[in-house]
Every structure is written in structure tokens, then in C-alpha cells.
Structure 1
């Protein structure tokens, strides 16, 4: 516990140093929401669409951190030999990764609070407090799949390749998952692909709760399956990398 406390303090210090990055990853989705919700508001759009788009932009904000911050931080720790130093210290690698998870989830929580606040105070999105909290928890728990994908990207052999793969995956999940606009605008074959993405499935969990106050069991299972499968893949790849 003592080691974890020190690691978490260090993570908080590093978060302060990366404040400019977080401003972009949280600010950009907020701006997108203001622009597109403003266009929607002028065309008698139902409130449920404004709410749905708000939560889509929240997931979009979280994905930005997952695909760019996580690989960058892990790669930096590797090149600076911080990970090797941890391995030869009383601190375990489990504690190291838990501290990274702590700072990542703290960043995600900040994204949720900021984007939700923009929707509520600027666009007048209103929900009972319990619904705000439950939807925030759904997004935060569901974000584990994006954390796993970010860690997977960090295992690529070069920073350039990480950047390319991260950008392509990030944009594909945003567009195909329906975070920017409904996937019904796409041809049927693209809709089929889009419905397989974890971003789409997570939003299905959110929208089902939002509209019916019930749980979308199939979407939850698919999102969990993605998280488990990617986590197992990470463990296998790390073993191979360590052997080499």
C-alpha cells in the first residue's frame, strides 16, 4: 500500500505536467458537441438525440486518452528505463500497472464531468441525478475495453507505428461506432461492421438504459468479451516480447 501511494502521487504529478494534452482531449469533444448540438437544436431535434450525442462525445473524449496518452506514457516509461527500474525495486509491476489504471480512470472521470457539465449547463440537458451517475459508471466501466486496446497499441515496436495504428483505430471506432453520426447513414455492409465495434456496443448499453432504464445484456457481454480477449492477447504478446 505504501508503494502504491507513492506511485499514485507520481501519477498525479505527471498528470499536471500533461495538462495541455488533457485540455485538447477533453476540450475538442466538448467543442464538437457544442457545434453539432447547436445545429441539432435549430431543427427541432428531440431532446433524446441531444442527450445521446452528449454521451457519444463523452466516449469519444475517453477514447482519445486511451489511444494516445496510454501508449505514449507506457512507451516513455520503457525508453526511459522506468519499467526496468520498477522491476528491480520492491515495487511490483502489478502495482505499477494499477497506478497507471488509477491515473487513467481519474482522467476519464474528468472527461465525464467536463463533457456532462457542458451538456447540462450550456445545452440544458437534464436528467435525474441517479441517471447521470449510472450512465457515468457505465461509460467508465465500459472504458476498460479502450484501456486494453491502448495497452495493446503500446506493444507495437515503434512510436511511429503506434501513432499510425492508434489514429486509424481511434477514427474507425468513432465513425463506424456511430459516435459522430448514426450508422444508419452508411450502407448495410458498413453498418454490419459498425455494430461489431466495442464503441457501438458500449453506446448501446448507454442508450438502452437512457431510453428504457433497462440493461442491454447482449451489448454488455460483447463489450466484456472484447475486454477479456484483448487482455489475454496482451498477456500472450508480453510473454513473447519478454522471451525475446
Structure 2
């Protein structure tokens, strides 16, 4: 499994287009969004500056991009090319393949988080305590595992031709409705009630709680845990189903 993880990392790091959209693109969106709204203005109901609020949103968005977009398309293409079938002939167990995909995606998501933080601190003067920077990095990185599992599930659900449009719909839907692009407090009440149960909303809420020097809400942790179990369970079931077809 370690060899497969190293292979996956090498492939991801050689993909310049993937690195741009997962590492550079979130930082660009952060700069545009914070400039438009004024970095030091306050977001209503949070006590956070626009810079600090958007920073967590874009770090979460970058990690989401890295683990979801990378996993889903790569797995669907590997299924069609026969690579997954070849791996099944080795001693690598099915869970090892799924874990390798999830772990490699999580490693790649770390630079996207760190780059957004560096840009926010250096360009937009976002200031936090040392423990908050470390806790933010850990929380956003760990939370990305939820979406890494979703990426694996989509990769086994969709064919090579259908995986990209399906992933994009889920990707933008979760990002927008979860409040990563716009504060969910600006949504109509009925949409806010939906948004608070989405994994992206709970994901960003972890980081904002840390910025406010508060413990993450139990509901947000529970929402992420439930979604992780659903996505990981779905990925395992779809993998077994795909194995039977082969």
C-alpha cells in the first residue's frame, strides 16, 4: 500500500493543472473576495474580519478541490483503463486501494491549506495565535478526509465520461450551499436550514470556531462524522460491486 501511495503522490505532483486548481486557485479567489468586501470589515454575527472569514472558506475550498476532484476522475479513468483490474491481481486488498487513494489525496490537500494561510497572513495581514494556526491546519486537513471518501465513491459510481460533470455538480453545489463562497447568513431562512446540515457548512464551521477561540460545535463534528461514515461505506460497497462485475 505504501508503494501505491507514493505512486499516487508522484502522479498528483506531476499534474500541473491539478496543482493549479487545488493550490493556487483558492488563494486567487481569496484575494479577490477579500478585496471586494474589505479585508478588515466584520462579518455579521461572527465577530470575524472578512479576511479571517474568507481565509477559512478558501482553505476549506482548496482542500475540497484537491481531494474530491483528484480522486473521482482518476479512479473512474483507472477503472476504464483496466488499472484497477490489474491491481486486484496483486496482494493489495481492496481496502488498501481505497485507503491509499484517501491518504494520498489528503497529503496533497495540505499545500492548498498552507498556501491560503500564507497569502492571508502576508498579503491581507490576518493575525492569529500560534495555536490557532496549528489547530486550523489540523482541523481543515482532517476534515478533508470526509470529501476524499466522497471522491472515491464518485469514482466508482460514475463512468469516465460522466464523472467530471457529476463531480462538478456536487463540487460547486456543496461549495456554494455550504457557505464556502458566500456567508450562509445571507441565504434565505429556508436555505440556511438546509445548509447547516451539509458537510461543507460543518467543515468551514470547525475553522471559524477555532478563529473565535471556541470549541467546535458538537453538531458540526457529528455531521462530519456521519457523512464520513456514509461516504466511506458507500465507497466500500461500490468497490465490492465493481469487483463482482470484473
> TM-score, normalised to structure 1's length?
0.90
Structure 1: gaps of 5 or more residues:
none
Offset from partner CA, 1:188-234 (integer Å, 9 cap, x none):
11111111110001122221222133231111011101111222222
Is residue 132 from structure 1 mapped to residue 129 from structure 2 by the alignment? Answer: no
User: Cα distance 1:20–1:95, how it changes in 2: closer, same or farther (>3 A)?
Assistant: same
Is residue 18 from structure 1 mapped to residue 15 from structure 2 by the alignment? Answer: yes
Within a 5 Å distance, the mapping from 1:1-244 to structure 2 comes to: 4-41=1-38, 44-46=40-42, 48-244=49-245
User: Cα distance 1:243–1:7, how it changes in 2: closer, same or farther (>3 A)?
Assistant: closer
Runs of 4+ residues over 6 Å off in structure 1: none
Offset from partner CA, 1:16-43 (integer Å, 9 cap, x none):
321332112222211111011112326x
Q: What is the count of residue pairs matched by the alignment? A: 240
Aligned mates of 1:70, 1:103 — CA distance in 2? 9
Contact 2:101 2:152 in 1 (8 A): no
User: Cα distance 1:240–1:86, how it changes in 2: closer, same or farther (>3 A)?
Assistant: closer
Contact 2:146 2:228 in 1 (8 A): yes
Contact 1:204 1:219 in 2 (8 A): yes
Contact 2:68 2:151 in 1 (8 A): yes
Structure 2: gaps of 5 or more residues:
43-47
Aligned mates of 1:9, 1:176 — CA distance in 2? 34
Query: How far 1:12 sits from its partner (Å)?
Result: 3.1
Aligned mates of 2:240, 2:107 — CA distance in 1? 29
SS in 2 for 1:159: coil
SS in 2 for 1:212: coil
Alignment root-mean-square deviation, CA: 1.9
